[in-house]
Structure 1
C-alpha cells in the first residue's frame, strides 16, 4: 500500500533508521538496517530505498560513504507512527507512555516479569500464554561446539524467541554446515520448515526442527498462587480446589477461549464448581493486528473489578506495544 510516496518496505526501513539513530546517535548504514531488523531483502534493495528516502527528504548523508541521519521530516514520520501505534493500543482510556516501553532483552524474563507484576497489581493468579513458536519466522541458525563432539544448535526467531538444541556429533551430520542451514531455513517459520522438509524428503532438517518443537518449553508462564492463599475472602478449601483445577493444564486452556476485548466470567459462569468463588479476566495481546497470545487473571470474585479490568487492559496494551515495536526493528 502506497502512502506519502512510500511503500511498506520503505516505511519499515525509514522507521528503523530513525529509531536506530535515536538509540545509537550514529549515522545508520544499510548493513546496520539489516542487522537490527527481520527484513529479508538484499543490501542492494535497502540501499536503493535509502536513496529514495534521501531524495524525498526523510534522511540525509553527512558525507560520502557515511550512513544516513534523519531530517526533521524523518523525525516527523517517526513521531506520527508512534502516535498512531499509541492510538491503536489504547482501549479504555489507559495512558501508555511510549517512551518507557519494556526493555529489549530476554523474552522469557519479560513474560515472567509481566506475569509477576500483573499478579501483584490484581492480587490474583496469572497465566500468560507465550507466542506460538511454530508460527515465528527463523532469523538465524547458529552451531556452537561446546566440548569435543558435543554441540549446541540455536534457532533464533522473530520477537526474540529462540530454541536451543544440544546434540552429539553422532546424532546429526555436522557436515550440514551452519551456512547451509541458514540458506535453507532463514525466512521460514518453524511450521513451514517442517513442511518444506517433508516435501523435499530432507529427513535431517525434518528431524531437527520437529525435535525442537516437540521439546519446546511450557506454552505459558504462571504467577500468583500465593496471592490467592493470602486472600481473606477465600477459604483454604477454595484454594485447594483451585490448585487441583489449575494442576490439570487442559482446564486452563478451556478457560482461555477465543473472544474479543476482555472477557470476564464470575463464579458459576465458569461452569465448574471449583471456580464458583472466583472471577476470571481474559485478554489477548497482539503484534500489529494479529493476536499472538492470551492473558488470564483469576481472582476472588470479591474483587475490585474496575481496577483488575484496567490492570489487565494496561498490561495487554504494553505487551502489544512491545511486540509491535519489536517486529518493526
Structure 2
C-alpha cells in the first residue's frame, strides 16, 4: 500500500525528531515543531495508521512512537535528502586526510579516524582486497639454499613478502628469469585474472623453467590473498556509549564483542552490495549482534575499479543523510589520492 503525501511527511518528521532527541515522539510535539498543516488529532490518526502498517512502533503503552526498521528503510530509500557537507567541513576532511598522505596503511588508519570524527559513530575502513587489486610488480629473491622471498607490489601500494621453500638446485638466475616471465604475464592482472590464466595454458609456457614453478605459483598467490584480505582499520568504537539505546549493558557488550571479531566484521562489510551506497538497517543484518545497528557502506576505487570499502556503524537511529554525505566526501578523497599515487 502506497502512503499518502501526508503520511510520508509525518513519518519523515517522526524519524527526524527521533534521530535528534532519542525520545519517543508524540503528536503534540510534531504539531509544534513541524509545519504539517494539520491538527494534533489528525496527526494522531495518521500515526495510528503508520503503526498498523509497521512503519512506527510504540515502545511503552503511554509513550509516543519510534520508527521501526521498516520505517527507516522507507526513509533511506525515498525520503531523505543527502545534505552537501558545508564547505568548511569539506576542506577540513580533505586537509585531515592529506596529513597522512604517504604509506597506504597510515592513510587507511587515519581515514578511519576522520570518518569517526565527522560522523560521531564507529568507522571501519577495509583495506584493498588482493583479489580486486592489480599486480604492479613481482620479484623472486633467493634467501638461502632452501628459502625464497616472493615480493608482490599492487597498484594500491600493497606490498607482501611471503617466504617459500625451494629446491636447493634452484639458482638466483632461475628466479630472475621466472620473475621476468611472471611480470610479462601477470602485471596489470587481478588475482581472479591470474587464476583463470593459470587454468588455461600456462603449464606449457612454464615447462621451460624449473620443474617446481608451476606447482609453486598457486601457493604463492593463495598466500598473498590470505595475508591481506582481513586487513581493516577501526575507529570510534566507544562512540556507541554516547547513544542512550546502548545504556543497556547487554547491548553495549554485544556491540563491543562484535567489534573485536575483525574477521567477522570484514566478512560483514565485504558482503554488502557494491552499489554506490549500501544501507543495512537493524533486522536486515544477518548477524544477530548487528541487529540493533545500521551499517552504511561505500567503496573507494582505483582506475574505476572498487578496491576497498568504507563503513560507518551506529544505532538504527542514525543520521543517515549526514553519514552518507561524509562517506561520499571521504570516498572521493580516497579515489583522488590513490589515483595520484
Q: Which 4+ residue blocks in structure 1 deviate beyond 6 angstroms?
A: none
Q: 1:180 aligns with which of 178, 185, 192?
A: 178
Q: 1:237 aligns with which of 239, 246, 250?
A: 250
Contact 1:185 1:193 in 2 (8 A): no
For 1:161, the equivalent position in structure 2 comes to 158
Q: Give CA-to-partner distance per residue, 1:125-162, whole Å, 9 cap, x none.
A: 22222222124332222345667865532111112122
For 2:202, the equivalent position in structure 1 comes to 200
Which 5+ residue runs of structure 2 have no aligned equivalent?
1-81, 204-213
User: RMSD between aligned alpha carbons?
Assistant: 3.6
SS in 2 for 1:261: coil
1:132 to 1:269, Cα distance in 2 relative to 1, 3 A? closer
Contact 1:145 1:152 in 2 (8 A): yes
For 2:334, the equivalent position in structure 1 comes to 319
SS in 1 for 2:117: helix
For 1:71, the equivalent position in structure 2 comes to none
Deviation at 1:93, TM superposition (A): 4.0
Deviation at 1:315, TM superposition (A): 1.0
The whole-number CA distance in structure 1 between the counterparts of 2:113 and 2:169 is 39
Q: 1:214 aligns with which of 222, 226, 245?
A: 226
Aligned residues: 236
Q: 1:278 aligns with which of 272, 287, 293?
A: 293
The whole-number CA distance in structure 2 between the counterparts of 1:172 and 1:233 is 65
Contact 1:140 1:182 in 2 (8 A): no
SS in 1 for 2:246: coil
SS in 1 for 2:228: coil
For 2:124, the equivalent position in structure 1 comes to 127
Contact 2:135 2:154 in 1 (8 A): yes
Larger displacement relative to structure 2 (104-113 or 246-255): 246-255
1:230 to 1:166, Cα distance in 2 relative to 1, 3 A? farther
TM-score, structure 1 length as denominator?
Answer: 0.58
SS in 2 for 1:234: helix
The whole-number CA distance in structure 1 between the counterparts of 2:307 and 2:192 is 15
SS in 2 for 1:279: strand
Contact 1:280 1:296 in 2 (8 A): yes
SS in 2 for 1:160: coil
Deviation at 1:254, TM superposition (A): 4.4
The whole-number CA distance in structure 2 between the counterparts of 1:257 and 1:123 is 22
Contact 2:140 2:179 in 1 (8 A): no
The whole-number CA distance in structure 1 between the counterparts of 2:195 and 2:340 is 28
Larger displacement relative to structure 2 (299-308 or 98-107): 98-107
Q: Give CA-to-partner distance per residue, 1:194-250, whole Å, 9 cap, x none.
A: 443443232232332233223435143333222224545522222212234453845
Q: Give CA-to-partner distance per residue, 1:111-138, whole Å, 9 cap, x none.
A: 1221122122222222222222124332
Which 5+ residue runs of structure 1 have no aligned equivalent?
1-90
